[in-house]
């Protein structure tokens, strides 16, 4: 039982004056509280859980500097199955008490609570967290709800603090004056203050579960709830959202909307999932490196949401997602329930830790990409509490952030662990890529680890060596381009995002493992992924390859066949022209036919005149010529088509009449008039051919008879 000496009366006028000034100051952050809701305290169960968290992360001091003794036994918690909002409040309260641990201990000593009262050691953590909340409420009485369950330990500590309220306020005021600070917030190290400032404005990132809902449906759902889509949510107090530039399935919300968002169905039904952006960058980098049936091995995933996101991105593939390091079988039912709710079907859990998995494990023979998310200092994270809740990091993460840095010895230990995991990942002979991602901005954990692993690769293996590859993510700003010049993807901590580092190591595929497109499609069809699609038909590219391989062997046969068809056509036309009493002139052929027939006729131009009869002409045109073969297989360029149109006027005069000279043609011309019916074609190339004058039906043509005779009949059209 706590022994209190009762309320203390102060006769010192100086202390009374200091106490009167406390009511006008916002003691915890030094900012005006106008417009902000007054804090009324937390439920008893939150204090108990926060005290247990603080007990595990508090800063231990040497025996000479110990002011307050802390017990080792945790308090009995009555709310073990609380939701995430309850856990968030507890972690935030414990982390705040941790940042001000030295100041709070000094206030307790200065106010004579210690050692004037007999306090059990196991309640010391509870006193620290409740004192922080007490001064944050400006020493106002906590408002209790009627249906709230009370805890005896909390009630005892609260009565003690209320009895020492005046002296606690005076001790706090003296502490501020000693440090020349407007509030205890300004007593914190500058790095911690900057971190808190970024955390207060950091937007919320949430990825879309495309297995349950499409992005368009999410947009429409949010718009019905009053949210507007914008390009940037920075410095906007309204209900808005934006789409991330690096990840197409990630949405961004202003930080002040957190309480409103967690209560809508999109988040309750796992259609939208809050998570740090660095994890989405990692899984999207893996997705860009995958083929359709490649498997993935995930190491140190932290949050199961990262595993689920990877599974959903590969849902349409035949890939499997292996997760290592889940040693507790008690978690299996909860994980299966979570993955079922989220629609994940291709996840397989391995019991072994990553270091203990052999590189030639038969289960991992199809693993082509390894995603490595090693435990790191997290010095790029602005809001460590949110990161703890989302990524399931251990509470040591909070201890490092409470002091604004990490010791050199601990940083070296982390870097060595990261190096060992990366080199072990590079030993998997079947893997073709390793994605290494941290939420730290320390070069010792990032560039140094990657470069060292690349430098000391095992040259004895017959497999290809890894090399550093450029980022596969889009670079959306000049700053990102500058930060990625050495092939590393970096994001510095800012008011819109946490810091992170991402590196991609790749090597060439083993030629013996190269899989054709036909094999991949066959596998997909065997697994039922290609419903109703026939695979028997060859692609255009394959047909083109086959055609190019056989074109040389079939060229002579094809050319002879074309020449024979032309000869037969000319023979028929010769017989028909002998029975005609009048010749019908036709316009020039369309461009496509002209290019084909004209090209063949142009090659015969110099051999038509010397021969007196058609049979001789046919005799000379039938044999194939090697030079003419290319005419039928090479696609003519635009300038070639223009040249091919010019010889049309002198192509076929020797074909129609068995005479060898134009004079013979004139002497045997019929005397009757020739009536021509022109169908005017559109000129294909300006100034390429003379356009004949058009005549109406029944009128004589204006051009001479020779011009009419030089046009071939159009019976083949």
Residue numbers annotated as active site: 439
C-alpha 180, offset from chain centre:
48
Contact between 489 and 438 under an 8 Å Cβ cutoff? The reply is no
CA distance 711 to 265: 78
- Tokens representing 464? 């290809």
Contact between 39 and 141 under an 8 Å Cβ cutoff? The reply is no
Contact between 41 and 379 under an 8 Å Cβ cutoff? The reply is no
Contact between 106 and 178 under an 8 Å Cβ cutoff? The reply is no
CA distance 592 to 596: 7
- Supply φ then ψ for residue 144, to 5 degrees: -105, 140
Nearest to 160 by CA among 138, 135, 185, 131: 131
DSSP one-letter string for 26-39: -TTTSS--TTSPPP
CA distance 419 to 450: 8
Let me know if 119 is exposed, middle or buried by CB neighbors in 10 A (0-12, 13-18, 19+).
buried
Sign of CA dihedral 522, 525, 531, 534: positive
Tell whether omega for the bond before 115 is within 30 degrees of 0, i.e. cis: yes
DSSP 662: H
Contact between 205 and 255 under an 8 Å Cβ cutoff? The reply is no
In the block, which residue shows the tokens 């449906």?
A: 217
Contact between 51 and 75 under an 8 Å Cβ cutoff? The reply is yes
DSSP one-letter string for 222-272: HHHTT-EE-S--TT--SSEEEE-SS-TTEEEE-GGGHHHHTTSHHHHTTSE
Nearest to 129 by CA among 1, 41, 37, 22: 41
Per-residue three-class SS string for 420-460 = HHHHHHCCCCCCCEEEEEECCCCHHHCHHHHHHHHHCCCCC
Q: What is the rounded (10 degree) CA torsion for 141, 179, 47, 399?
A: 170
CA distance 383 to 205: 13
CA distance 435 to 297: 10
Using DSSP bridges, classify how beta strands 347-350 and 250-253 pair: parallel, antiparallel or unpaired: unpaired
Contact between 41 and 137 under an 8 Å Cβ cutoff? The reply is yes
Using DSSP bridges, classify how beta strands 367-372 and 433-438 pair: parallel, antiparallel or unpaired: parallel
- Tokens representing 541? 């590219």
How much helix, strand and coil, in percent to the nearest 5, is found in the chain?
Answer: 50, 10, 45
Nearest to 134 by CA among 28, 255, 251: 28
Contact between 295 and 371 under an 8 Å Cβ cutoff? The reply is no
């Amino acid at each position: 039982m706590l022994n209190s000496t009762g309320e203390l009366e102060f006769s010192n006028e100086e202390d009374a004056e200091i106490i009167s000034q406390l009511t006008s100051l916002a003691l915890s952050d030094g900012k005006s509280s106008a417009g902000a809701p007054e804090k009324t305290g937390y439920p008893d169960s939150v204090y108990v859980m926060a005290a247990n968290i603080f007990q595990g992360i508090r800063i231990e001091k040497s025996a000479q500097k110990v002011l307050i003794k802390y017990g080792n036994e945790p308090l009995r918690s009555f709310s073990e199955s609380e939701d995430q909002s309850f856990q968030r409040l507890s972690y935030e309260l414990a982390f705040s008490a941790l940042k001000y641990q030295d100041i709070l201990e000094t206030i307790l000593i200065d106010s004579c609570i210690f050692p004037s009262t007999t306090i059990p050691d196991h309640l010391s953590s509870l006193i620290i967290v409740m004192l922080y909340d007490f001064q944050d409420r400006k020493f106002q009485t906590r408002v209790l709800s009627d249906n709230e369950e009370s805890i005896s330990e909390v009630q005892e500590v609260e009565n003690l603090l209320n009895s020492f309220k005046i002296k606690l306020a005076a001790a706090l005021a003296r502490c501020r004056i000693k440090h020349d600070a407007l509030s205890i917030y300004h007593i914190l190290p500058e790095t911690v203050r900057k971190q808190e400032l970024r955390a207060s404005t950091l937007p919320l990132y949430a990825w879309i579960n495309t297995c349950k809902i499409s992005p368009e449906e999410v947009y429409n759902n949010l718009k019905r709830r009053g949210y507007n889509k914008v390009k940037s949510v920075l410095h906007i107090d309204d209900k808005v959202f934006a789409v991330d530039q690096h990840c197409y399935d990630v949405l961004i919300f202003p930080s002040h909307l957190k309480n409103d968002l967690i209560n809508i169905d999109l988040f309750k039904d796992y259609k939208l999932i809050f998570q740090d952006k660095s994890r989405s960058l990692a899984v999207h980098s893996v997705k860009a490196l995958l083929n359709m049936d490649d498997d993935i091995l995930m190491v140190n995933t932290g949050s199961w949401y990262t595993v689920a996101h990877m599974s959903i991105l590969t849902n349409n593939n035949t890939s499997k997602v292996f997760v290592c390091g889940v040693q507790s079988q008690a978690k299996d039912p909860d994980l299966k329930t979570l993955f079922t709710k989220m629609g994940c079907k291709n996840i397989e859990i391995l019991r072994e830790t990553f270091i203990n998995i052999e590189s030639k494990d038969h289960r991992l023979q199809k693993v082509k990409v390894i995603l490595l998310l090693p435990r790191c200092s997290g010095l790029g994270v602005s809001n460590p509490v949110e990161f703890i809740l989302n990524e399931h990091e251990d509470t040591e993460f909070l201890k490092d952030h409470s002091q604004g840095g990490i010791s050199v010895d601990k940083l070296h230990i982390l870097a060595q662990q990261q190096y060992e995991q990366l080199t072990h990942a590079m030993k998997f002979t079947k893997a073709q890529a390793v994605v290494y991602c941290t939420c730290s901005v320390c070069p010792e954990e990032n560039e140094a680890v990657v470069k060292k692993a690349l430098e000391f690769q095992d040259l004895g293996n017959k497999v290809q060596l890894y090399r550093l590859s450029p980022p596969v993510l889009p670079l959306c700003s000049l700053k990102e381009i500058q930060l990625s010049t050495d092939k590393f993807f970096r994001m510095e901590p800012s008011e819109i995002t946490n810091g992170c580092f991402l590196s991609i190591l790749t090597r060439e595929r083993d030629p013996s493992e190269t899989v054709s497109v036909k094999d991949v499609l066959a596998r997909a069809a065997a697994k039922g992924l290609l419903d109703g699609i026939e695979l028997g038909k060859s692609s255009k590219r394959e047909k083109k390859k086959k055609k190019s391989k056989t074109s040389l062997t079939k060229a002579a046969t094809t050319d002879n066949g074309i020449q024979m068809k032309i000869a037969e056509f000319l023979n028929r036309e010769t017989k028909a022209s002998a029975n005609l009493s009048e010749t019908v002139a036709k316009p020039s052929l369309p461009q496509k036919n002209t290019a084909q027939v004209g090209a063949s006729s142009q090659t015969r131009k110099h051999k038509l005149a010397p021969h007196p009869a058609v049979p001789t002409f046919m005799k000379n045109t039938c044999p194939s010529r090697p030079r003419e073969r290319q005419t039928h297989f090479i696609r003519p360029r635009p300038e070639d088509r223009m040249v091919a149109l010019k010889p049309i006027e002198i192509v076929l005069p020797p074909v129609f009449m068995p005479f060898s000279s134009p004079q013979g043609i004139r002497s045997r011309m019929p005397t009757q008039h020739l009536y021509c019916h022109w169908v005017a074609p559109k000129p294909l190339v300006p100034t390429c051919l003379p356009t004949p004058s058009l005549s109406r039906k029944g009128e004589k043509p204006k051009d001479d008879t020779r011009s009419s005779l030089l046009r071939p009949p159009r019976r083949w059209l």
